[in-house]
């Protein structure tokens, strides 16, 4: 069984993330969505909320594709998480050249730590290249329309969490 790990903080999950997940399902039999616990960041949503949001969005993808999709919180090194879940592949999404520079360094370090785990890059769809969770939260904080960037359930969660500044 070919297993891949798609890691991220998913704070919140965006249409860009879901696009990468959909496209990754053609590569594997099992896709583990690694929801990172990063003590250096102050996420808007709790770990449990992020796990629930991405899990809900992935159910339909799993049903449609027949690929097992598992949501797995992690706080250890990415390469250790890959080993923990039995992943042979790490899936990463790229939006721009700036993403590549960071990812290039991470791949190099991960190859030294465990050369048996490959990293696969999927380019973001043109319609999602500008989408970043950080920017979605900023738009939502200022009362902007985020419906093009996140699923409806995530949009509702953002509106519930953030004060209404659209007035």
Active site residues: 17, 41, 95, 133
Structure-token match 């960071």, residue found = 102
What are 145's two structure tokens? 């329309």
Q: Which residues contact 25 (CB under 8 A, 6 or more apart)?
A: 31, 61, 62, 65, 67, 69
Q: Which of 78, 102, 99 is nearest to 90 (CA)?
A: 78
Cβ atoms of 149 and 47 closer than 8 Å: no
Q: Which of 165, 158, 152, 159 is nearest to 50 (CA)?
A: 158
How many whole angstroms separate alpha carbon 153 and alpha carbon 53? 8
Cβ atoms of 34 and 85 closer than 8 Å: yes
């Amino acid at each position: 069984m070919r297993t891949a790990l798609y890691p991220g903080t998913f704070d919140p999950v965006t249409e860009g993330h879901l696009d990468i997940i959909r496209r990754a399902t053609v590569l594997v039999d099992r896709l583990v969505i690694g929801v990172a616990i990063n003590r250096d960041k102050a996420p808007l949503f709790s770990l449990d909320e992020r796990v629930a949001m991405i899990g809900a969005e992935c159910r339909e993808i799993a049903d449609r594709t027949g690929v097992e999709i598992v949501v797995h919180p992690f706080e250890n090194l990415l390469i250790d998480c890959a080993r923990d879940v039995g992943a042979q592949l790490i899936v990463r999404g790229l939006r721009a050249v700036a993403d590549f520079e960071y990812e290039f360094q991470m791949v190099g370090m991960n190859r030294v730590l465990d050369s048996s785990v490959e990293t696969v890059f999927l380019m973001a769809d043109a319609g999602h290249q500008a989408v970043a969770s950080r920017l979605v939260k900023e738009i939502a904080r200022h009362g902007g329309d985020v419906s093009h960037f996140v699923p409806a359930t995530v949009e509702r969660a953002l509106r519930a969490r953030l004060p209404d500044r659209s007035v």
